[in-house]
């Protein structure tokens, strides 16, 4: 096995290349996808032509609508929404239509499509280009939601998402896009619904998403120096959710901390904590600690933005709180 290290962007682009070569029904549409504002779709038009890499007008709702229509009629579109925040523009078509017609048609229609969407706070983008809205897609039925945290996961999950017969939202944290990681040359897939244990530990189960995985790992490293062994789990997809892996960890640690960059109120952590309080109650030795962005608009100024979003320090403190210790 090679030890090639490539960026998240390259990993995503490779996933597109491989899937577009493999299946001519796959095509990409979105604003400036030919140029590729964030690079994930750049140069694809050279290999696949303008019919399969389509620049759309600035209209997220109709673009996602077009993807739904194409998906229902035999193609496998990937529609790029340039910033995660803009998914709310297409909320009706995503939540009320894309996720529902397979069921409503009793299986006569399938909606195999991916919404690829860079998102998250990276400093200096301000309120409407910085939000992490993945949790908004847990409530609507019929959707799947992927939130990769490494180039390896991004490639493997995106390939599975493209092959999946359901609509999948694929969130790419903009802070991760230029980071490098190991991605083998050989083809691989990562199934949707399989969590990954990013670090093993026995004292606390720390579930982290997307860009917070790295913060969680750094926090775990620091805590390890104090003798606290944190198990860091990246669920990788919010729907379907790999409850087994998290539960198995909890059966070892009895302590649960959840961290996400999306807002805490009504976030993924709410759903996971609720699952824990319902299904794993006897496996909890302490209150769950739930971290997320405060329930405010994301301010622009870097000092304010940082004050909203969970930091490595916040995670360390939450783990200690979970163990009944103060830092």
Partner 1 sequence: MALDNDTLKELYRNMVTVRLLEKRVERLVTAARIPCSGHFGTGQEAVGVGICGPLRSDDYLFGTHRGFAEYIGKGMAPAEILCEYYGKATSLSRGRLGQHLLKVDVGIMPLPSSLGSEFGMSVGAALSSKLRRSGQVTVNLFGEGTAGQADFGPALEMASLWQLPLVFVCNNNQYVELAHYRNVVATEDIAPRAGGYGVPYEIVDGNDITLVYDATERAVSRARNGEGPMLLEFKTYRRGTHYTGDPGGYQPREEIAAWEKKDPIDRCRDRMMAEGFWAETDEQAMRETIEAEIEAAVQFAEESPYPDPATVTENIYAQGGDKS
Ligand X SMILES: Cc1ncc(C[n+]2csc(CCOP(=O)(O)OP(=O)(O)O)c2C)c(N)n1
Other CB atoms closer than 10 Å to residue 327's CB: what's the count? 10
Contact residue for partner 1 among 308, 316, 319, 320 (CB under 8 A)? 308
Is 129 a known active-site residue? Answer: yes
Residue among 58 and 306 whose Cβ is closer to ligand X: 58
Does 138 bind partner 1 (CB under 8 A)? Our answer is no
Please say whether the beta carbons of 169 and 137 come within 8 A: yes
Does 58 bind ligand X (CB under 6 A)? Our answer is yes
Does 82 bind a second copy (CB under 8 A)? Our answer is no
Does 31 bind ligand X (CB under 6 A)? Our answer is yes
Does 91 bind partner 1 (CB under 8 A)? Our answer is no
Cα torsion through 87, 89, 90, 96, rounded to 10: 110
- Site mask, a second copy, residues 122-161, x = CB under 8 A? -----xx--x-x-xx-xxxxx-------------------
Q: 139: burial class by Cβ within 10 Å (0-12, 13-18, 19+)?
A: exposed
Residue among 35 and 274 whose Cβ is closer to a second copy: 274
Cis peptide before 240 (omega within 30 of 0): yes
> Residue 56's binding partner, choosing from a second copy, ligand X, partner 1, none, with beta-carbon cut-off 5 to 8 A by kind?
partner 1
Size of the site for partner 1 (CB under 8 A): 81
User: How many whole angstroms separate alpha carbon 174 and alpha carbon 9?
Assistant: 10
Cα torsion through 115, 198, 286, 308, rounded to 10: -50
User: How many whole angstroms separate alpha carbon 311 and alpha carbon 156?
Assistant: 28
> Distance from CA of residue 155 to its chain's centroid?
12
Residue among 136 and 228 whose Cβ is closer to a second copy: 136
Residue 274's SS3 state is helix
Q: 319: burial class by Cβ within 10 Å (0-12, 13-18, 19+)?
A: buried
Residue among 39 and 140 whose Cβ is closer to a second copy: 140
User: How many whole angstroms separate alpha carbon 143 and alpha carbon 265?
Assistant: 21
- Site mask, a second copy, residues 90-119, x = CB under 8 A? -xx--xx--xx--xx---------------
Find the part of the chain contacting partner 1 (CB under 8 A) among 8-16, 75-83, 195-203, 210-218. Answer: 75-83
Does 289 bind a second copy (CB under 8 A)? Our answer is yes
Find the part of the chain contacting partner 1 (CB under 8 A) among 9-17, 159-167, 173-181, 250-258. Answer: 159-167
Does 302 bind a second copy (CB under 8 A)? Our answer is no
Largest interatomic CA distance in the chain:
59
| Partner residues linked to 144 by β-bridges | 168
Which residues are designated catalytic?
129
Binding residues for a second copy, rule: CB under 8 A, are 85-86, 88-89, 91-92, 95-96, 99-100, 103-104, 127-128, 131, 133, 135-136, 138-142, 239, 262-263, 265-267, 269-271, 273-274, 276-279, 281-282, 284, 286-290, 295-297, 299
């Amino acid at each position: 096995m090679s030890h090639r290290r490539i960026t998240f962007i390259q990993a995503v682009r490779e996933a597109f290349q491989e899937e577009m070569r493999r299946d001519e029904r796959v095509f990409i549409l979105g604003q400036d996808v030919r140029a590729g504002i964030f690079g994930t779709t750049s140069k694809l038009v050279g290999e696949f032509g303008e019919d399969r890499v389509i620049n759309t007008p600035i209209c997220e709702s109709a673009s996602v609508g077009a993807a739904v229509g194409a998906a229902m009629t035999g193609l496998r579109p990937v529609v790029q929404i340039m910033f995660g925040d803009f998914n709310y523009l297409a909320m009706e078509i995503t939540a009320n239509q894309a996720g529902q017609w397979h069921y409503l048609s009793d299986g006569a229609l399938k909606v195999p499509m991916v919404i690829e969407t860079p998102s998250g706070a990276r400093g200096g983008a301000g309120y409407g280009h910085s939000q992490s809205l993945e949790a908004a897609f847990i409530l609507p039925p019929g959707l799947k939601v992927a939130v990769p945290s490494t180039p390896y996961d991004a490639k493997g999950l995106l390939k599975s998402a493209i092959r999946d017969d359901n609509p999948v939202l694929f969130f790419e944290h903009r802070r991760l896009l230029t980071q490098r990681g190991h991605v083998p040359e050989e083809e691989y897939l990562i199934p949707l619904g399989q969590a990954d244990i990013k670090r093993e530990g026995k004292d606390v189960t720390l579930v982290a998403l997307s860009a917070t995985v790295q913060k969680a790992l750094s926090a775990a490293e620091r805590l390890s120096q104090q003798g606290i062994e944190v198990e860091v789990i990246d669920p990788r997809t919010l729907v379907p959710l790999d409850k087994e892996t998290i539960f198995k960890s909890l059966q070892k640690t009895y302590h649960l901390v959840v961290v996400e960059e999306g807002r805490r109120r009504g976030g993924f952590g709410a759903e996971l904590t609720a699952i824990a309080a319902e299904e794993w109650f006897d496996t909890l030795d302490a209150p769950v600690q739930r971290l997320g962005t405060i329930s405010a608009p994301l301010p622009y100024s870097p000092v304010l933005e940082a004050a909203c979003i969970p930091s490595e320090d916040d995670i360390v403190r939450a783990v200690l709180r979970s163990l009944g210790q103060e830092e």
